Amino acid sequence: DAGVIQSPRHEVTEMGQEVTLRCKPISGHNSLFWYRQTMMRGLELLIYFNNNVPIDDSGMPEDRFSAKMPNASFSTLKIQPSEPRDSAVYFCASSSSDDPYNEQFFGPGTRLTVL
């Protein structure tokens, strides 16, 4: 299994531009999580999906952030318009409800820099 796949791995953009981050969970996993990691705030859960349905988006910082999961194998996190304070590493993780541990498997992350 290829694990959780994220793209792009690095993104540099200018303030005001739209940014789209992509995630492919592990095949067969039915929960997907988006996290943001910064030095100042540590690891934050932004939103998570179960069976493609958003369950908890209370961590989404503001309306500029949106996430979708159109099918079981793909999710996007969009920032529009982007701001320098959005610079962070964004991780996607997936898990399976068939796993009694509910272990989450993390992707390699997307390092976003907004100039």
Return residues touching another protein (CB under 8 A).
31, 33, 42-43, 45, 48, 50, 55-56, 91, 93, 95, 97, 100-109
> Which of 54, 81 has the CB closer to another protein?
54
Smallest separation (angstroms) from another protein to the CB of 50: 6
> Which of 80, 102 has the CB closer to another protein?
102
Smallest separation (angstroms) from another protein to the CB of 80: 25
Helix (H, G, I), strand (E, B), or coil: what is residue 86? helix
User: Is 57:77 a contact under the CB 8 Å cutoff?
Assistant: no
Count of other CB atoms within 10 angstroms of residue 92: 27
Tokens found for residue 88: 């962070």
Smallest separation (angstroms) from another protein to the CB of 26: 13
Tokens found for residue 107: 């992707």
> Which of 82, 104 has the CB closer to another protein?
104
Smallest separation (angstroms) from another protein to the CB of 95: 5
Shortest CA distance to 95 belongs to which of 110, 107, 87?
107
> Which of 37, 81 has the CB closer to another protein?
37
**What dihedral do alpha carbons 99, 102, 108, 113 form, nearest 10°?**
150
